[in-house]
Amino acid sequence: MKHIMLQGTSSHVGKSILTTALCRIFYQEGMSVVPFKAQNMALNSYVTKDGDEMGRAQVAQAEAAGLEPFVEMNPVLLKPTGNSCSQVILMGKPVGNMSAREYHKGYSLKAFDTVKEAISRLEKRFDMMVIEGAGSPAEVNLKANDIVNMRIAKYLNAPVLLIADIDRGGALASLVGTLELLEPEERDLVKGLVINKFRGDVTILQPALDFLEEKTGKPVLGVIPYLPDLGIDDEDSVSLDDKAPKKDKTAAPIKIAVIQTPKISNFTDFDALSREDDVNLYYVKEGEAIGEADLILLPGSKNTTEDMLYLRRSGMEKAIRQARENGTPIIGICGGYQMLGEKISDPHHTESDNDSVEGLGFLPMETIFAEEKLTSQVKAKCFEWQFMGETLSVDDLFGYEIHMGETRFTRECAHPFMITQRAGKSAEIAEGLINGNVMGAYIHGIFDNDAYRRGLINILRKRRNLQPLPISVNYAAAKQQAYNRLAETVRQNLDMAKLKKIIG
């Protein structure tokens, strides 16, 4: 098997996106290619067909490689819960909550045995592995127990590309400094440098590139231009800072506000909505106004009780209550759905030290966190449910569930969905609640369904006395086109001949 590894001078320099690009390029060239990231720290996760939980970045990379995602692509997933603590997920299943010290000083090297087993299985199935690192390989305080950067590169003898984000500034210094902090055998594995997110005339940058090559003895394989609005799933909430309303969308008639809590998870649930031309979707943080939103979305959370308390302390709860009284529809997904209920209890302290927290009280339900996590793909339908005075009926919906809460209804209300299949088995389970202008459900990815998404937007359009529009976005096809655009851009700006020579 051939390998190429992408490491960065820091987090959020574009490792995930460039890994996705190389997966697509090699897939287009007819290779059997698989993405791999030994350890991912992210709140943005996905559930495979086998019910295993993995990072969404590897899901996008798998799609780019023409593969159905499976957990060997990301054997270790860390989901931060707060206070330097994370839920540790090994091969798709939670093994407990650990402090940063417990994980790095005691558990990570044990998890590396599982990582090696996953690599062994991948090597038997594929010809090429595109490997993503995490953060920086030069974090000297973490290197002894690191299992995602140079330990992987040395284990596989994989050539490494070192990536820097020039849009942040200090790219040259970060490349030189990172190389200086590596051990000699680690530095030898770095076979090329990549400048990412460049804006402007690359010829002006040439003296700096020449200096880099002379200073480090490493070739600069390419300068990748800044690529806004890629249309590809982001790995973590750091990218939300880049999701301000686009100037060409400010005039869009339908405005959707997403409440951005500190432990927001699976925010990619709403990406499909942002692709619609008549929708301006924006994120609202503490101190920012919800504005004249046509719809408010409460996203998932890895620490639901703490995020609920955050809404209360920050004053955002008051703004949400006022919006509801004014008739603005509100939809909650997963943790956001739980917040819409009357009470959230955590007797086993699976997420926090809070025994129970009062919810918003918009939906007649209570949630108790269990010690077991439900992770499954589902199929569902919405059967003529009433929302905002309109009827929506769509069959053949798909999505997935990731939650530890068991929700009990305190009185009967309408249910927006009927789950018809869970984890591949037929089912008939009423899912979610509707109470007036408030709705919630556990199903992630529900807005990826084109007919459902357009039907909901058309209900919002009607409230603004606008005519309904037909389905114009095939979200799955749009993502495939985005992978192709990304691959073509990287192919044009990366020395592919040198890269293939490096790979061998």
Q: Which long-range contacts (CB under 8 A, 24 or more apart) does 340-346 make?
A: 340/298, 340/365, 340/438, 340/440, 341/365, 341/366, 341/367, 341/407, 341/440, 342/366, 342/410, 343/367, 344/304, 344/305, 344/308, 344/369, 344/405, 345/369, 346/305
pTM for the model stands at 0.92
| Pair 415, 61: CB distance under 8 Å | no
Token pair recorded at residue 319? 């703004």
Q: What is the pLDDT along the chain (504 residues), one digit of tens a residue?
A: 999 999 999 999 999 999 999 999 999 999 999 999 999 999 899 999 999 999 999 999 999 999 999 999 999 999 998 778 999 999 999 999 999 999 988 899 999 999 999 999 999 999 999 999 999 999 999 899 999 999 999 999 999 999 999 998 999 999 999 999 999 999 999 999 999 999 999 999 999 999 999 999 999 999 999 988 777 766 554 556 555 555 567 789 999 999 999 999 999 999 999 999 999 999 999 999 999 999 999 999 989 999 999 999 999 999 999 999 999 999 999 999 999 999 999 988 877 788 899 999 999 999 999 878 899 999 999 977 778 888 899 999 999 999 888 899 999 888 999 999 999 999 999 999 999 999 999 999 999 999 999 999 999 999 999 999 999 999 999 999 999 999 999 999 999 999 999 999
Of 320, 198, 312, 202, nearest to 259 (Cα)? 320
Cross-strand bridge partners of residue 60: none
pLDDT of residue 55: 95
Token pair recorded at residue 356? 């129970």
Of 400, 399, 334, nearest to 367 (Cα)? 334
Point out the residues that are catalytic: 334, 444
Taking the C-alpha atoms of 164, 166, 169 and 173 in order, what is their torsion angle to the nearest 10 degrees? 40
Question: 331, exposed or middle or buried, with CB in 10 Å at 0-12, 13-18, 19+?
Answer: buried
Count CA atoms within 13 Å of residue 252 on its CB side. Answer: 23
Q: How far apart are CA 356 and CA 360, in angstroms?
A: 13
